Amino acid sequence: MPKIKVPRKSTHMDMTAMCDVAFLLLTFFILTAKFRPNELVEIVTPASRATETVKDDLVTISVDKEGNAYYIASSPRRKTDILEKMIEKYGTKYPVLSTMTVKQKAQFGQLEQVAFPAQSVPQMVSIQQEKLKKWKEEGKLTGVPKDSTNNELGDWIMATRFAYDNDKVTFAIKGDKTSNIKAIQRVIDVLRENDINSFKLITAMEGNKD
Amino acid sequence: MSQIDTSGGGSKGKHKKVRGKKMSTLIDMTPMVDLGFLLISFFMLTTTLSKPVAMNLSMPVKEKNDEKKQDIPESKVLNIICDKDDKVWYYEGFVAAGLKMTDYSPEGIRKAILDKQKLVDAKWKKDDKGFTQTICLIKMTNDANYNNMVDVLDEMDITGTKIYAIQDVNKLELEAIANGGNANIQ
């Protein structure tokens, strides 16, 4: 009687398909991930239990350790609109703004943040982020003035509201853990003076401490 | 490698023609898959961890005059005052006396809020929606930092306190704090 020969099968699995899937996913995640923008001021936000994710169209006012405020609007088109409104509303207050060229206005749209008084906006628009960062480290940048005598932050906020017109605009405050409460309260006050009584505080997600 | 030879013996050398050994075109993909998934897990973990979240804060409309002030029962009120060096003081009612010092740990300020809630719930009952009627007045001295404010707002969420307001610290409270918690009333 002939012996039945069971054919020996290879234990080797074809990994090609699995490899394809792995790299497809990898490519997908890398492409969809949004990288953190190169921020001028490093702000370590406090952690909170909040769960609401941050939307893109926020207008953020950052407050750093020293208590300086920085005005950050997200989309370039909005930024140009805001600048136009700023010129329209406060052209007489800040005469240098009305002499800005079209190119400078376009450059303003690319600007990461307003970290200087309105007077120096025309010169600042063409300066590289890296250079600004160096100036910041040297203590040459002091943010947008927000005292009651020179409340430029309030003007920017007002211009923002005009630029968004009927669209809903959400303001957010992004403060550093260690920044003094006075600076934060001043920013809150400025917002309230401009009839913005509801806003967001940007915080980091808390680990499972509790 | 992990492959088992499947060539199955074959002809046992009838013709001794020397042939180049036929190499398999299969490449072992296992390490590449490993690498792929490793990178995926790395990217996924790092992206979710750095996601910022937003906390809502609503402040009352700024009134030029104080006429519209609402009367609130004194027994519902808990005052929380954030001080420097992560110290936090609290007292009940309107009279800044007998301030107690604590910290931001769960046994600290959270316990103080929950204790107050128990007292308020016993006296005033919970509201229609089942929330406590405790009113927390949050105040900050000039030396407090932003982290303290977020911490206290977080406690409001944890303890389920729906009614709270951020107010300015008043002179009597500052005096009491300087005095180690006791009121400085003559």
Contacts of B159 in chain A (CB under 8 A): none
Q: Which residues contact B83 (CB under 8 A, 6 or more apart)?
A: B89, B141, B143, B144, B177
How do strand B52-58 and strand A52-53 relate by DSSP bridges? Answer: antiparallel
Q: How far is CA B109 from CA A137, A203, B90, in A?
A: 37, 21, 8
Q: Output A20 or A119, whichever has higher pLDDT.
A: A20
Q: Where are the alpha helices (DSSP H) in A63-151?
A: 76-90, 95-98, 102-110, 121-124, 129-137
Tens of pLDDT, residue by residue over A40-84, are 777 787 888 777 877 777 888 888 888 788 888 777 777 878 888
The two structure tokens encoding residue B30: 């296992």
| Subunit contact A197:B61, Cβ cutoff 8 A | yes
Distance CA(A192)–CA(A22), nearest Å, equals 50
- pTM of the predicted protein model: 0.72
Closest residue in B to A174 (Cα) is: B54
Give the distance from residue A80's alpha carbon to the nearest chain B alpha carbon, in angstroms: 26
Distance CA(A59)–CA(A194), nearest Å, equals 14
pLDDT in tens, chain B (186 residues): 555 555 544 445 455 667 788 877 777 888 888 888 898 888 877 766 666 788 888 887 776 655 556 677 778 888 888 888 888 888 888 777 778 888 888 888 888 888 888 888 887 777 777 777 788 888 888 888 888 888 888 888 888 888 888 888 888 888 888 777 676 554
Q: Which residues contact A75 (CB under 8 A, 6 or more apart)?
A: A56, A57
Let me know the angle formed at the C-alpha of B85 by B80 and B91, rounded to the nearest 5 degrees. Answer: 20
| Subunit contact B53:A52, Cβ cutoff 8 A | yes
| Subunit contact A18:B33, Cβ cutoff 8 A | yes
Residue among B54, B62, B151 whose CB faces A172 most closely: B54
Mean pLDDT is lowest, of A36-50, A110-124, A149-163, B1-15, for B1-15
Distance CA(B132)–CA(B156), nearest Å, equals 11
Q: Where are the alpha helices (DSSP H) in chain A?
A: 16-32, 76-90, 95-98, 102-110, 121-124, 129-137, 152-164, 181-193
Distance CA(A197)–CA(A53), nearest Å, equals 20
Q: Which of residues 41-100 of B touch A (CB under 8 A)?
A: 43-44, 47, 49-62, 82
The percent of residues in chain A predicted with pLDDT above 70, rounded, is 94
Interface pTM, i.e. ipTM: 0.71
- Give the mutation candidate from B84, B107, B150, B159 for the A interface (greatest A CB count, under 10 A): B150
Q: Does A15 touch chain B (CB under 8 A)?
A: yes
| Subunit contact B47:A29, Cβ cutoff 8 A | yes
pLDDT for position A95: 76
The two structure tokens encoding residue A117: 């008084």
